[in-house]
Structure 1
Amino acid sequence: MSAKRYVQTRTRKIKKFFGLLGPGLTTGAADDDPSGIATYSQTGAQFGYGQLWTALYMLPFMTAVQEACARIGMVTGKGLTGVIKDHYSKKILYSAVGLVIIANTINIGADIGAMAAAAQLIIPADIIVLMLFFTVSILLLEIFTNYRVYSTILKWLALSLLAYPLTAFIIDQPWKDILKATIVPHFEFSFSFLFIITGVFGTTITPYMFFWQASQEVEEENEKGLIRDGKPKIGWAHIHAMRKDNNIGMLISEFTTWCIILVGGTVLHGSHITDINTAADAAKALEPLVQSFPHSGLISKIIFAIGIIGLGMLAIPVLSGSASYAVSEAFDWNASFGFTFRKAKGFYIVIIISTLIGLCMNFIGINPVKALVYTAVLNGVAAVPLLFLIIRISASERIMGEFKSRWLSKILLWATFIFMATASVAMLFTI
């Protein structure tokens, strides 16, 4: 084969690979939002490598849950709310919608506060001014720009997350201990341990991801013209392509999680910083990456702030959007970031209201960094009943037809449900 033909062949394969990447990659990126970074950093700071194993063992569960949500959206041509509305009672419908609205609105508020706190590390401005600036900026971008263009730009800011893998591998590490902590689960039956591990589960397998990915798969089908007469025309080739996208997105997300916990364990816990109270505390985890540079403390703060701000601006539209998809489908409103405000007023009004309520939550005096961890724990509890619904829907032959869950999917989904339910109940018991 000539060099020119070899290059052309490789180029086609690379384009084909990146062509597979879609909602799964976006959802995986949004999963490592400010709440995730804060929770994983707190886990490492408080327990060292004690919960490092969660990143490895949560990967198959997270992948199975998101695959089921994506498959539901692809097969039915509807988001989760639309499917629940068609096949379950109004009581179950409104309960599911209520859960995601409450959890997402609180998460939005925590993310806005964290973005402002992170920005204060490098900008000498009042935190209220910064919160207002981010809130208005996000709403204007959501309403008046194409979300795909917007999210593509912000993904470049999200590359600052690479600071955690780089830090993890450039500093001296006890790799034998790390390998053991990654593979061998460690448990402590105490409230503090169960509280944080519930937060880890909740910020990894989180309600907004369920609704977002299902709805985004439907949007993808609409763009590709796969939905005709209200019914998707798909085959197993489409399902396999979705699974590749989903697997890649979840793998990247969990690798990042592992690196954040690892860096928190080595740098923060190793320096006897066991409780993260401020954005500056969290930023200290990245100082080893730039310690050879002058003003390394400032540089680490800049890297941390850029990551938190970029990921927050990427995640908040996902949070408000998934809540709005849920409400809009419940009331048969037009719902898509592809529509203008005039064509989808209800959809955008829900986004505006949930974002503004989230902003107002920052004025009740909760530490913005601590709020991120509390939000993750709330998501861990709220995810449990929603997981039960996802399991039932994805396994239903009446709803899913030939694309219903097979034995491996069922095992992983039920295991996820039992594991998260047990953690939530045990945490409440130890209070």
Structure 2
Amino acid sequence: MKNATANKPRRLGRWGRPAAIFAILGPGLIAANAGNDSGGIATYSSAGAQFAYKPLFLAVVITLMLIVVQEMAARVGTFGGGGIMALVREQFSLRIGAFAVFCILVANLGLVVSEFAGIGAALELFGVSRYISVPISALILIGVVVFGSYRWAERIFLTFALAFLAYPFAMILSHPNWSEVVSNAVIPHFVGSKAFLLMAIALVGTTITPYMQLYQAAAVADSGAGPDDYPRVRTDAVGGAIIAGLIFICILIATAATIGGTGPLNSAAQAAKALEPVAGAGAEVLFGIGLLGASALAAAVVPLSTAYGLAEAVGAERSVSRRFSEAPLFLGLFAAQVVIGAMVALIPVNLFALLIGMQILNGLITPIILGFLYVLSNRRSVVGDAISSPMNKAISLLCVGVVSTLAVVVVGVTVGGWFGVV
């Protein structure tokens, strides 16, 4: 049974206790690591396979940008008392918000399909048919969200995130050249080619996506966190982004050390299989476990971010702690996305065209969401005295500008490719 008071914020004692850091992790860890989904793992693996250690400096810079963006989302959710789209409805034009919500709905549905495809591919590495694993996974996710409380769902999502611990072990098994790792991480080693530029854009686009910011702000508000809880929320957001960045780096190093220079990959499952001859069966198993956890986490977070966004935009009740009768639009939309995503993922067709369309929509959404986020996080009527300092404003604006520009470039390159222009 749903517990209406289940989303009260947690109060902590001294942070010096050994388990304190784990106790404060929640929406920030979930949101940031949901970005390391099946598509993200495939992109990181492909970057390592194609360019070896050279993208490591980019990975460090992208992680810093992720920290800035996720902290803004956490601040808006904490001090604004609502998700991004709820505040957009109050502060901006409803038409702009409606366009963003429509794009989010379509693009995120495509992502849900890819996440269930990732679940199926991961369990097929262990001999389980996708026709068994995908429906069961869909039922579990619906049960957790529709019939659970916010706190229960959060614990389940954090359990999924534990699967990411497989990647540091996979990195160790790959026996990387640590001097090259350090050199490429602290000194730029860019390649003057179109392929490297497109890879860099893809890395930014798959690491910083609109659904992460939507979920971060909405989940913080849903958890019941208020201004007094901001130190905890900020630590969670920044810590989650750092952990997500470290996982990104571990995946890149593992593939760079084993199959670096062999060319791009098409999927995370292909990366897992490619590791086995070089790093042994253990590396393939670890990659498969990581892919399963990553896909399951994103398969929950992506439809939740859509449900939060739409419910916020129309002013409907939205909370994982509500019964279905209390939040029918929110919970119904979540369940519908999961069912549709799972069903489409079972159709034996190439999903490449779907993923390309999703990239274009994300390219359209990203500047809008990040623009909203920047303004909201610096508007006193929303965050009060928690607006950014002049230095932080400049850094935030730079990050938002870079990510938004690259998102638009993705749209231009993709559309240009259709007409043979790019």
TM range (shorter): 0.7 to 0.9
Q: 1:249 to 1:50 in 2, by over 3 A?
A: same
Q: Does 1:326 align with 2:317?
A: no
| Aligned residue in 2 for 1:112 | 116
Q: Does 1:420 align with 2:403?
A: yes
| Aligned residue in 2 for 1:245 | 236
Further displaced range: 316-325 or 11-20: 11-20
Letter in 1 for 2:34: A
Partner SS, residue 89 of structure 2: helix
The question of whether the paired residues in 2 share the 8 Å contact of 1:65 and 1:413 is answered with: yes
Q: 1:148 to 1:375 in 2, by over 3 A?
A: farther
**Unaligned stretches of 5+ residues in structure 1:** 1-8, 227-233
| Aligned residue in 2 for 1:311 | 294
Which of 52, 58, 63 is equivalent to 1:54? 58
CA-CA distance at 1:109 after TM superposition = 0.8
| Aligned residue in 1 for 2:378 | 395
The question of whether the paired residues in 2 share the 8 Å contact of 1:100 and 1:323 is answered with: yes
- Listed one character per residue, the Cα deviations across residues 288-345 of structure 1 (whole Å, up to 9, x for unaligned) are 8973xxxx2xx54443333222222222121111100111111221101111212111
**TM value normalised by structure 2:** 0.85
d(CA) in 2 for partners of 1:75 and 1:10? 23
Which of 102, 105, 110 is equivalent to 2:106? 102
Q: 1:165 to 1:305 in 2, by over 3 A?
A: closer
Letter in 2 for 1:207: P
Rg bigger for which structure?
1
The question of whether the paired residues in 2 share the 8 Å contact of 1:203 and 1:376 is answered with: no
CA-CA distance at 1:210 after TM superposition = 0.7
Further displaced range: 53-62 or 106-115: 53-62
Structure 1 segment 338-349 matched on structure 2, within 5 A = 338-349=321-332
Q: 1:200 to 1:393 in 2, by over 3 A?
A: same
d(CA) in 1 for partners of 2:254 and 2:284? 15
Partner SS, residue 195 of structure 1: helix
Letter in 1 for 2:294: L
Structure 1 segment 261-280 matched on structure 2, within 5 A = 261-269=252-260, 272=262, 274-280=263-269
| Aligned residue in 2 for 1:5 | none
Which of 366, 380, 390 is equivalent to 2:350? 366
Q: Does 1:131 align with 2:134?
A: yes
The question of whether the paired residues in 2 share the 8 Å contact of 1:207 and 1:382 is answered with: yes
CA-CA distance at 1:412 after TM superposition = 2.2
Further displaced range: 144-153 or 26-35: 144-153
Q: Does 1:87 align with 2:91?
A: yes
Q: Does 1:382 align with 2:396?
A: no
Q: 1:151 to 1:395 in 2, by over 3 A?
A: closer
| Aligned residue in 2 for 1:44 | 48
The question of whether the paired residues in 1 share the 8 Å contact of 2:150 and 2:320 is answered with: yes
Partner SS, residue 260 of structure 2: helix
d(CA) in 2 for partners of 1:334 and 1:10? 35
Structure 1 segment 177-216 matched on structure 2, within 5 A = 177-188=180-191, 190-216=193-219
| Aligned residue in 1 for 2:26 | 22
d(CA) in 1 for partners of 2:189 and 2:285? 34
d(CA) in 2 for partners of 1:328 and 1:23? 19
The question of whether the paired residues in 2 share the 8 Å contact of 1:80 and 1:215 is answered with: yes
CA-CA distance at 1:154 after TM superposition = 5.1
- Listed one character per residue, the Cα deviations across residues 248-307 of structure 1 (whole Å, up to 9, x for unaligned) are 11111111111111111111225x2x232355421136538973xxxx2xx544433332
CA-CA distance at 1:83 after TM superposition = 0.4
Q: 1:188 to 1:102 in 2, by over 3 A?
A: farther
Q: 1:210 to 1:254 in 2, by over 3 A?
A: same
Q: 1:372 to 1:185 in 2, by over 3 A?
A: farther
Letter in 2 for 1:185: P
CA-CA distance at 1:199 after TM superposition = 2.2
- Listed one character per residue, the Cα deviations across residues 377-420 of structure 1 (whole Å, up to 9, x for unaligned) are 76455322211111111112233221112223312221112222
Q: 1:182 to 1:146 in 2, by over 3 A?
A: same
**Unaligned stretches of 5+ residues in structure 2:** 1-12, 417-421
The question of whether the paired residues in 2 share the 8 Å contact of 1:277 and 1:367 is answered with: no
CA-CA distance at 1:91 after TM superposition = 1.3
Q: 1:104 to 1:85 in 2, by over 3 A?
A: same
Letter in 2 for 1:25: L
Partner SS, residue 116 of structure 2: helix
- Listed one character per residue, the Cα deviations across residues 40-90 of structure 1 (whole Å, up to 9, x for unaligned) are 111111221221112211222111111111111111111101100001111
d(CA) in 2 for partners of 1:146 and 1:351? 15
